[in-house]
Amino acid sequence: MRAAGTRDFYIASHSNVYGWGGGLAFTLGLADAFRQLGHTSLVLGVDDAAPLSRRPFAGQRLNLPTGVPKALWRVRSWCLPVMLARSLRRLPPPRVAFVTVSPTWVVAAKRAWPDVPVVFAFACLLSNCLPFTWPGRRPARLWARVDYRGIQRAEQLAFAQADLVLAPTHQSMDEIAAFVRRPVARLERCDYGVRPLPGASALRTLQRQALGARPDDFLVAAIGVCDRNKAFDVALRAWPQVDRRAHLLIVGDGPERATLERLTETLDLTARVTFAGAQRDMAAWYAAADCVLSTSGYDTFPNVLLEALDLGRPVVVPEHDPPRAYSGFAEVVREHRCGLIYDRSAPAALAACLNRLARDPRAAAELGARGLHTARRRYRWKQAAARILNHCGVAPPAPKPHREPAALQTATGVPA
């Protein structure tokens, strides 16, 4: 007999389940795939203000409180797995498995339910990502170093404790191997998925008109948090060398936005750059864009670029060159020829890539078409869900019996 509120899978993200971001998009896409395969799931997130209750939960999303007192903020990363495990114990364990993109959730789930299989769908290593957000790539304060060590410890424990670790590219598998420095049991490469954005194509004309774009303008979208890691300043410094028909859309907000706006004024680029701020509905911005650009120092497998491919937009990404740059998507671009790759340390190289696309719209459209074909054929969450089910020993659903279309049936209703 099933307990009230139990689900086949819990799928956890390290963000608010009613917010936005790549981690949440991952969990929602995987939840949709499990539902299509006949399995129930609950998407979990974190929220310090969330109520803690033992009552059965009937919805599809649930925020759990971190349980870390404000007084312990300096050692939050050390306390978080233990406190989240306490919150998890308030829920019945999932019947099949616990799946997460967060190493903290891996450790918490194993503490709460040692016998429940835990699948770690690797998204990034904060140990490699966070230094790109610090000036000089060094933590500014003692407590930042303490926090960083706690994050490193959680990531090491996650790789040691997870029953299955999935990684989206061979580059990400190499990154994991270099970080762990020992064989990781059950590490497998697995294609991730993307949730389609409905109706984006119909918005193109309207959004470009709203932006004041001319028919021959080439709009380049750089999407994400305005921080040092996303490094949108790399695009701004290259922009004076980019074709005058190109216009940069920076879609996002964050601590570096004011600095980026000042740099735009200094470089006399205000007429060629638009700061759109944070946007909850991204469909119109992808529709308006002619390509999507990444300038990040660290981005293992960004959902933004998958969404761009799924909408037929070519992508421009840095070369994967650790530790100077981690660009997991360069592997995808090289394999499927769905965009261009540049040397992140050379502004002239980025400008040359953008000029190739801006001056040859037909070539840009061809790259976008390849990306669309790749996304529709390869990057669908059902494939990852099936891999997880297979690992957990759950048989896929039986195919539905084939039925002939009504037009081929006889007048008596018996198939011809």
Given this model, what pLDDT does residue 407 score? 39
Note whether 212 and 333 are same-domain residues. Answer: yes
* CATH number of the domain where residue 131 is located: 3.40.50.2000
Question: Among residues 280, 308, 281, which one has the least CA distance to residue 294?
Answer: 308
pTM given for the model: 0.89
Is the CB of residue 370 less than 8 Å from the CB of residue 346?
A: no
Q: What is the C-alpha R_g of the chain?
A: 23
Condensed to tens digits (0 to 9), the pLDDT of residues 121-176 reads 999 999 999 999 998 888 778 888 899 999 999 999 999 999 999 999 999 999 99
The answer to whether residue 412 sits within a structural domain is: no
Note whether 310 and 331 are same-domain residues. Answer: yes
Question: How many independent structural domains does the chain possess?
Answer: 2
Which tokens in the block code for residue 411? Answer: 């007048």
Note whether 36 and 61 are same-domain residues. Answer: yes
Note whether 59 and 77 are same-domain residues. Answer: yes
Note whether 132 and 211 are same-domain residues. Answer: no
Given this model, what pLDDT does residue 400 score? 54
Given this model, what pLDDT does residue 257 score? 97
The answer to whether residue 209 sits within a structural domain is: yes
What is the domain range of residue 353? 201-378
Question: Among residues 37, 32, 96, which one has the least CA distance to residue 397?
Answer: 37
Note whether 358 and 386 are same-domain residues. Answer: no
Given this model, what pLDDT does residue 195 score? 85
Note whether 180 and 233 are same-domain residues. Answer: no
- For residue 341, give the amino acid letter: I
The answer to whether residue 21 sits within a structural domain is: yes
The answer to whether residue 263 sits within a structural domain is: yes
Given this model, what pLDDT does residue 55 score? 59
Name the residue with tokens 């932006």: 211
Note whether 175 and 275 are same-domain residues. Answer: no
The answer to whether residue 308 sits within a structural domain is: yes
Note whether 172 and 277 are same-domain residues. Answer: no
The answer to whether residue 405 sits within a structural domain is: no
DSSP label of 234: H
Given this model, what pLDDT does residue 2 score? 41
Given this model, what pLDDT does residue 410 score? 31
Note whether 134 and 55 are same-domain residues. Answer: yes
Given this model, what pLDDT does residue 117 score? 96
Is the CB of residue 190 less than 8 Å from the CB of residue 152?
A: no
DSSP label of 112: H
The answer to whether residue 256 sits within a structural domain is: yes
Q: CA 133 to CA 227: how far, in whole Å?
A: 7
Note whether 32 and 181 are same-domain residues. Answer: yes
3-state SS class at 45:
strand
Residues of the chain with pLDDT under 50: 1-4, 402, 404-416
The answer to whether residue 2 sits within a structural domain is: no
Question: Among residues 162, 193, 187, 164, which one has the least CA distance to residue 174?
Answer: 187
Question: Among residues 336, 357, 348, 245, which one has the least CA distance to residue 293?
Answer: 357
Note whether 94 and 242 are same-domain residues. Answer: no
